[in-house]
Amino acid sequence: MHPILPDRTFAWQALEDTLRSLLQHSGYAEIRLAFLEHTELFKRSIGEVTDIVEKEMYTFKTASGTSLTLRPEGTAGCVRAAIDQGLLYNQQQRLWYLGPMFRHEKPQAGRYRQFYQVGVEAFGFPGVDIELEHLLLVSRLWSRLGLENIRLEINTLGSAEERAAYRQVLVDYLRQHESELDEDSRRRLDSNPMRILDSKNPAMQELLAQAPKLMDHLGGESAGRFERLLQLLQEMEIPCSVNPRLVRGLDYYCHTVYEWVTDDLGAQSAVCAGGRFDGLIEQLGGRPNSATGFAIGIDRLMLLLEKQQRLAPRPLPDVYMVLLGERAEAAGFALAERLRDQLPGLNLVVNCGGGSMKSQIKRADKSGAALAVLLGGDEVESGEVSIKYLREEGKQIKIAQAELPGLLRDRLDTKT
Ligand code: HAM
């Protein structure tokens, strides 16, 4: 678990602002979720035989013996909150959340134990139009961020009944080839055979490519719904490839599942993943209702922005105010307050901690400010300020304090 340091938080905030604005402008409202939930919630929703529940949860017992878990993802907690708070009765909900998630995974580039997700969940939309809306939203995000080289892989898992029937067909096939399975897959044969399809083991690729496909075992309704979604995506010019082996690592999905993947991040290729999870609300004690959503890994998105040189630059101060001597202190802060009142867009740093002219100018330079505004005893006396240009040619000048807002306003106007 690593802190996000001040030289990076600017870019994080810029990304979060973009996400917020995009979601709010599409009718999504933020929900702030609990970080801790009863362990049982994740076991029931994500599934007992998944990597997350088997190996990755931070679980502990409270003094009274209750087992709690730091949230490894947001969907389960979001559904719980929506049921508990009565958000699902006869209404549609478009929700989003943003925050840290916790998984005890082996850390590596792009995979962390505390990582950030922005998640979107929509309740009460049975048709594939909501899947289309979500995919368009994510696609718009990529283009707004200037990102390239992210592709959409999509699949359908069918209904719970179709999946159960297919599961048996798959197990029969894999049993015939049990000797070719690796240890992990053999273990999963009884508990979670669909996840075997997801295996990255090169030795098993041929076997898995030949495996029966769920797509061929879908009923007409499920197949039609998937066809419709693919057709809509084509009409909206969202390229995608159908990956019949995409099953996802969480058990709550049905019908549509998808991942947005990139080759620019090494092994951790998924930057966004989601799908439909209609059964989960009922499973967690609510009235049956439809549900669809996705989550974007913000840490990975930041790595990708950096790789593709699209990180938002750090905003630098417009002005660093140098204060020389005791009299300049109160006068300088008063001037700074007036400037902040008059120019809300101004990025202004006032020197604190005293220092000689030389050392304050050094700090001004290090801050990245464009101008140093100097105020000493003489300037206080005469109602003036000196201006030193730190990044451009230009002699130091002295102007009346009253002229300073006008000069700065002109500079701010040309900046924007
Ligand atoms: P997930 O596939 O487990 O799905 O995670 C979604 C995204 O979170 C991944 O594609 C990845 O970008 C990021 N992520 C996951 N684990 C890590 C990690 N250890 N370090 C860095 N980034 C990570 C879910 O969590 C579902 N709740 C998504 C969803 C929402 N489905 C429906 N609604």
Q: Give all strands (DSSP E) within 194-242, no chain letters.
A: 240-242
Q: Is the pLDDT of residue 31 over 90?
A: yes
Tell me if 96 sits within 8 A of 119, measured CB to CB. yes
Choose between 250 and 388: higher pLDDT.
388
pTM for the model stands at 0.93
Strands 384-389 and 348-350 turn out to be unpaired
Q: Write the pLDDT tens digit of every residue in 257-295.
A: 999 999 999 888 999 999 999 999 999 999 999 999 999
Question: Which atom of ligand 1 is found nearest the CA of 295?
Answer: 28
Q: What is the mean pLDDT of residues 384-390?
A: 96
**Residues 74, 97 contacting (CB under 8 angstroms):** yes
CA geometry: angle 349, 352, 354, nearest 5 deg: 130
Ligand 1 pocket test: pick from 58, 115, 141, 264 the residue with the most ligand atoms within 8 Å of its Cβ: 115
pLDDT at 90: 84
- For 339-366, the pLDDT digits (tens) are 999 999 999 999 999 999 999 999 999 9
Expressed in angstroms and rounded, the spacing between residue 300 Cα and the centre of ligand 1 is: 10
Nearest Cα neighbor of 271 from 255, 282, 260 is 260
Ligand 1 binding pocket, CB closer than 6 Å: 73-75, 103, 105, 111-112, 115, 117, 119, 121, 249-250, 270-275, 277, 293-295, 297, 299-300
Confidence (pLDDT) at 50: 87
Query: In Å, how far are 199, 316, 328, 329, 339 from 342, measured between CA atoms?
Result: 61, 19, 21, 20, 5
- Give just the sign of the alpha carbon dihedral 224, 122, 136, 246: negative
Domains defined for the chain, CATH in brackets:
6-158+218-307 (3.30.930.10), 319-415 (3.40.50.800)
Tell me, what's the pLDDT at 104?
A: 97
Q: Which atom of ligand 1 sits closest to the CA of residue 75? A: 27
How confident is the prediction for the chain on average, in pLDDT?
94
Encode pLDDT of 102-140 as tens digits.
999 999 999 999 999 999 999 999 999 999 999 999 999
Of 274, 286, 294, which Cα lies nearest the Cα of 44?
286
pLDDT, average across residues 35-61: 94
Q: Which residue minimizes the CA distance to atom 13 of ligand 1? A: 297
Q: Give per-residue pLDDT as tens, 80-98.
A: 999 999 999 889 999 999 9
Of the residues 94, 101, 252, which should be mutated to test ligand 1's pocket, given the most ligand atoms within 8 Å of the CB? 101
Residue 274 CB-density burial (10 A; 0-12 exposed, 13-18 middle, 19+ buried): buried
CA dist., res. 379 & res. 398, Å (int): 9
